Amino acid sequence: MNKHNKELAINGGIPVSKEPILIHLPFLEQDDFDAVTEAIKTTFVSGDGPACRRFEKELANYLGVKHALFVNSATSALELAFRVKNFPKGSEVLMPNFTYTSSALGALYNDLKIVLVDVYADNGSINIEKMEAAITDKTVAIVAVDYGGIPADMDAINAIAQKHNFYVVHDTAQSVGSNYKGQKTGCQGDVSTFSFHGTKNLTTGEGGALVTNNDQIAERVKILREKGTDKHSFLTDNKTRGYYEYVDIGMSYVQSDILGALGISQLKKLDNLNERRRQIAETYKRELAGIEGLDFMRITEGSEHNWHLFGILVPAEDKYWIMDALRAEGIMSNVHYTPLHRNKYYNHLGSDEKFPDSMSFFNRLLRIPIYPSLTDKDVQNIIFAVKKVFNA
Ligand SMILES: Cc1ncc(COP(=O)(O)O)c(C=O)c1O
């Protein structure tokens, strides 16, 4: 590496960018501000109002699914995804070891046992063979995760699930707008769970959606997310009824109509925003190709990435130095998250030796900025800084 190059900012040289280029920024503009203002003016600011229902309908159409249910986070959607199933306590759920804690929380909240599976070293996606090897007579479900927005190999996962009659929860938190074999992510699993957190390609600040083609699951979720009441049908049925009933035990996961309005305006431009991300990714790939020691993440065959994240795989021994050197150049980069077994709460579930490819992926992964509001100049500065640091 170029650790001793005098000109590097980390060694006292002039940074490539005087203003730090942040790792991510939400894309919010005048029509989003107007949508929120108009929503407030209607005074229907509480949950499950007309804007939320319109957003759900438009999202379902966009994704090509029957039901999209807007909730306050993907974490809540994951909890609901398991709550609707009533699996026996202690049943096992397979999931990738390299994921965000929420992928596991949905099962854990429902007293299920999570079984971590190693991932592919070149993209962090669940290793299909190792997943099959981890099946026991207690396995009931699989959580498939689209890390960084790259679709997991859902055909392979579904084939195993069908053979064993497993439930498939597709954690699509990061992949809104990605495609898998010609269809948007969101229709491949029994249930899919999207996030609209401020860092995501479509944002409502905080928020998420549970998406499914299953009518029974959708009906139950409408009740569970609204404190176990049948308020949704009370609000939407034409028959006048002066009250609604408490029909189940539930949580309060409905979203304000203000956020529903923001979802509508964000969804309108999602494809354009993802196209800008794609152009930036193509530029990175073209300009950074061939740098020794730098690889790109593998995109699952037959899929199209929404470029939620742009990860580069760098030499493990230099990763933190590269991160610091890029930051000194004014380019924010980070490592995202650590494999679950590396965290205090999950470290009883395995050791580094059990997850060699998760460790390899984690040890090599660095994220560089990718978001629609990056200017061409920013993109050129990022490329220049990476080349400078790699002495390429
Ligand atoms: C893979 C994955 N699942 C779930 C979540 C949780 O999303 P939320 O913040 O909407 O609960 C995240 C958040 O980034 C995530 O990356």
User: What three-state secondary structure class fits 269?
Assistant: helix
CA distance 142 to 324: 37
Chain segment 19-33, per-residue pLDDT in tens: 999 999 999 999 999
Q: Give the tens place of pLDDT for each residue, 333-391.
A: 998 899 999 999 999 999 999 999 999 999 999 999 999 999 999 999 999 999 999 98
CA dist list (Å): 340 to 25, 104, 106, 366: 26, 9, 14, 17
Q: Is the pLDDT of residue 2 over 70?
A: no
Q: Which of 75, 114, 255 best tests ligand 1's pocket when mutated (most atoms within 8 Å of CB)?
A: 75
The full DSSP string for 201-246 is SS--SS-EEEEES-HHHHHHHHHHTBTTB-HHHHHH-SS--S---B
User: Which of these, 314, 309, 40, lies nearest to 200 by C-alpha position?
Assistant: 309
- Ligand 1: atom nearest CA of 102 is 4
What's the gap in Å between 195 CA and the centre of ligand 1? 6
Say which residue the tokens 């009933």 belong to: 245
Give the pLDDT confidence of 226-255 residue by residue, as tens digits: 999 999 988 887 776 788 899 999 999 999
Task: Copy the structure tokens of residue 252.
Answer: 């309060």
**Residue-wise pLDDT tens digits, 119-142:** 999 999 999 999 999 999 999 999
Q: Residue 74: CB within 6 Å of ligand 1? A: yes
Separation between Cα atoms, residue 110 and residue 92, nearest integer Å: 11
Cα 102 to ligand 1 centre (Å): 6
Best mutation site among 174, 203, 225, 306 for ligand 1 pocket (most ligand atoms within 8 Å of CB): 174
Residue with tokens 């020794």: 292
State pLDDT tens for residues 185-222. 999 999 999 999 999 999 999 999 999 999 999 999 99
> Is the Cβ atom of 266 under 6 angstroms away from ligand 1?
no
Gap from CA of 380 to ligand 1 centroid (Å): 30
Q: How many alpha carbons lie under 13 Å from residue 217 in its C-beta half-sphere? A: 25
* Mean of pLDDT values over 305-325: 97
For the record, the structure tokens of 213 come out as 């083609």
What sign does the CA torsion over 172, 176, 179, 182 have?
positive
Domains present along the chain, CATH in parentheses: 9-25+268-390 (3.90.1150.10), 30-266 (3.40.640.10)
Quick one: pLDDT band at residue 5, thresholds 50, 70, 90?
low
Q: Which atom of ligand 1 is nearest to the CA of 337?
A: 16
Exposed, middle or buried by CB within 10 Å (0-12, 13-18, 19+), for 227? middle
User: DSSP label at 388?
Assistant: H
Residues whose CB falls within 8 Å of the CB of residue 320, separated by 6 or more in sequence, listed in order:
none
Distance CA(339)–CA(97), nearest Å, equals 6
**How much is the pLDDT for 154?**
98
Tell me the mean pLDDT in the region 81-102.
98
